[in-house]
Amino acid sequence: MSKLTIVAQIEAKEEKRELVKSELLKLIPITRAEEGCINYDLHQDHENPNLFLFFENWESRALWQAHMNNDHLKAYLEATEGAVAEFTLQEMSQIG
């Protein structure tokens, strides 16, 4: 099993920034307790406060996939429907 790094970027619609932020913050303690989660860290951009970034490390892609299918992630998606302007996700491997 090789470690998987996830970089997820979430840009909230300006008028929905606080909603998206509060829903993202709810994910942290639940996700950090999940099997395979090494770290799950949320960041907010200094120049664009609508932009959030999760930097995550997982023991394996399979365990990250289990996270992606959990109910708390589905609840986040429902709660923020129509509030996110853009979402990008990169699956990465550390090389150095």
pLDDT of residue 96: 83
| Residue pLDDT tens, the chain, 96 long | 589 999 999 999 999 999 999 999 999 999 999 999 999 999 999 999 999 999 999 999 999 999 999 999 999 999 999 999 999 999 999 888
Q: At 57, list the tokens.
A: 């490390």
Domain ranges of the chain: 4-92
Q: What is the pTM of this model?
A: 0.94
The backbone torsions φ and ψ at residue 60, rounded to the nearest 5 degrees and listed phi first, read: -160, 165
Q: Order of strands, edge to edge, in the sheet holding 51-58? A: 37-44, 51-58, 4-12, 84-92
Q: What is the CATH number of domain 4-92?
A: 3.30.70.100
Instruction: Round to whole Å and give the CA distance between 94 and 96.
Output: 6
pLDDT digits (tens, 9 = 90+) for 71-84: 999 999 999 999 99
Q: How many helical (H) and strand (E) elements, i.e. helices and strands, does the chain have?
A: 3, 4
pLDDT of residue 2: 84
